Structure 1
Amino acid sequence: MLKLAGQLTTSTSALWRGTSVRVQETERPRELLHLYDMEGCPHCRLVREALTELDLDAVIYPCPKGGDRFRNRAAELGGRERFPLLVDPGQGEVLQESTRIVAYLWRQYGSGGGPGLTARAPIGKIRSVMASATRIGAGVYAKPARRPARLLELYSFESSPYTRVVRERLCELQLPYVVRNCGKSSLGDYVLPVVREAVGMNYEPASPNRRELLARTGRVAVPYLVDPNQDNSLYESDRILEHLRHFYQI
């Protein structure tokens, strides 16, 4: 319960940005975006929020401090070791600095809209720094781990308290993955899965990834991890963390 309270504090400090899809029917990237990211970094959080709110998937390359897998590649791409770094292969774009990246994503994929006041400097950076402070270094420092041969997939949305602990562990273990964003876009999305199931709610999600989860598993909840290396897929953060510890953490 204390762990959940801490996670709720983090999401509240960030004003729950990265919860809802803020535009509908956005233009999709020609190829998956690539984000070189450190989960505990407040600047990276702003970009992940934009990805959720624009309903965009991306390959996440975790770059924790002390990491030796992707930090050098990011430095080669950007000319310096600085995060976040976004690569849009379909447009041939490589961008650093959260303000530039967020502006680019909304301009390119936001149907002419904007991220809103609380995502802009200085408010966005202040609330994101406050949110990171509540995690006390989680998702920041590398831990020894085996590298998977194939990318994991994580169904997630940025502000989810249950998903954050999984993303932090993926970052610490330097495990690259595709984030399948599942931001909320309808009233039914805001009803807890256990409540939907208990009352037999006729739930028809609007977002593609939520529809995919419903078709694939019969329910919609996050986090949901797909690990093709172990031929396994599973819900619930505690089970996912145990899976990562057992198969990857050294």
Structure 2
Amino acid sequence: MVHHQIKVIQALATSLTEGGRGANGTAFPVQPEKALKLYEFEGSPFCRRVREVMTLLNLDYEVYPCPKGGTKFRKIVKEQGGKLRFPYFVDENTGTAMYESQDIIHYLFQHYGKSGKTPEKYAHYPKYPVVALAGTLLNGARGVWVNKKIIYRETPEQLLELWGFEASPYTRIVRGILTELELPFVFHNVAKERWQDQGPSVLRLKPGKYIPLAGGKREKVVPVMGRHKKDIQVPYLEDPNTGAKLFESEVIVDYLKRRYA
């Protein structure tokens, strides 16, 4: 077993390879009425591109993990879309279902961005995701394959809920195990909205009491945190099936393995 702190270092290295993408986002997202759905797997560099933009737009969405060797949701993608390719994106608000990460990114900016146009930085990804693939390898290829050593329980009745953002190394660890266990969940993006948000909750660049941006998404999220402290700490997991409310990636991973594996 790889020590948890080594996993954190690997996940941090993965985030650094993308130059900070997936950390910051708008404080005032255009969240649709019906949940966006993303069929993907954590270790896919193409899926990572889409998740980074979802964080930039600060959108919440449902995740249906489809690791290689998985049996739960990959068949749904094949049935609905006609082929096994990831990411597969579904927006029931417009009746849209689509493959191809670049097409999905253009769609997201068109429908949920402020200007309706894709910024140049996100408009022309290279055909071969060398940098993102390097990030996957640095992270030990976690979240690529289903864990065949685990005897799976049934999919929980209600979706788990996870708060975090794409570039958070601690959140990445949790998403990895959720992928390997094929556990669907709602991902609540809590992107950093301004410079005062930078840094972990106990070591922010701006010292003193943390005050989220007035009217921003983070201000609305603070009361959700189980510790009821005036701060944001991710990852944070709620399991409506058991009533569990957990912080700390190591604690969450241990809980998921004990409860669902």
TM-score (norm 1): 0.91
Q: Does 1:137 align with 2:141?
A: yes
Query: In the alignment, what sits opposite 2:49?
Result: 46
Question: 1:173-212, aligned counterparts within 5 Å?
Answer: 173-195=181-203, 200-205=208-213, 209-212=217-220
Q: What RMSD over aligned residues (CA atoms) do the two structures have, in Å? A: 2.1
Question: In structure 2, how many angstroms separate the alpha carbons of the residues matched to 1:224 and 1:38?
Answer: 20
Per the TM alignment, residue 207 of structure 1 is displaced from its structure 2 partner at its CA by: 7.3
Question: In structure 2, how many angstroms separate the alpha carbons of the residues matched to 1:67 and 1:237?
Answer: 23
Give 1:89's match in structure 2, choosing from 89, 92, 96: 92
Q: Can you give the 5+ residue segments of structure 2 that lack an aligned partner in the other structure?
A: none
Q: Alignment partner of 2:133: what SS?
A: helix
Contact 1:47 1:98 in 2 (8 A): yes
Give 2:257's match in structure 1, choosing from 206, 228, 245: 245
Per the TM alignment, residue 199 of structure 1 is displaced from its structure 2 partner at its CA by: 5.5
Paired amino acid for 2:234: V
Q: Which moved more, 1:180-189 or 1:109-118?
A: 109-118
Query: In the alignment, what sits opposite 1:122?
Result: 126
Q: Alignment partner of 2:129: what SS?
A: helix
Alpha carbons of 1:150 and 1:131: their partners in 2 closer, same or farther (altered >3 Å)?
same
Q: Does 1:160 align with 2:168?
A: yes
Give 2:59's match in structure 1, choosing from 53, 56, 60: 56
Structure 1 ranges of 4+ moved more than 3 A: 23-26, 205-209
Q: Alignment partner of 1:34: what SS?
A: strand
Give 1:17's match in structure 2, choosing from 12, 16, 21: 21
Paired amino acid for 2:221: L
Contact 1:117 1:123 in 2 (8 A): no
Question: In structure 2, how many angstroms separate the alpha carbons of the residues matched to 1:101 and 1:206?
Answer: 31
Question: In structure 2, how many angstroms separate the alpha carbons of the residues matched to 1:10 and 1:156?
Answer: 16
Give the number of equivalent residue pairs: 247
Alpha carbons of 1:191 and 1:231: their partners in 2 closer, same or farther (altered >3 Å)?
same
Contact 2:102 2:123 in 1 (8 A): no
Query: In the alignment, what sits opposite 2:10?
Result: 6
TM-score (norm 2): 0.88
1:146-205 CA deviation, whole Å, 9 max, x = no partner? 221110000010010111010000000000000000110122211431246x95414124
Question: In structure 2, how many angstroms separate the alpha carbons of the residues matched to 1:130 and 1:136?
Answer: 10
1:77-105 CA deviation, whole Å, 9 max, x = no partner? 21101100000001000010101101110
1:56-90 CA deviation, whole Å, 9 max, x = no partner? 11000000111111101111121101100000001
- Percentage identity across paired residues of the two chains: 38
Alpha carbons of 1:78 and 1:208: their partners in 2 closer, same or farther (altered >3 Å)?
farther
Question: In structure 1, how many angstroms separate the alpha carbons of the residues matched to 2:33 and 2:187?
Answer: 16
Per the TM alignment, residue 213 of structure 1 is displaced from its structure 2 partner at its CA by: 3.4
Per the TM alignment, residue 3 of structure 1 is displaced from its structure 2 partner at its CA by: 3.0
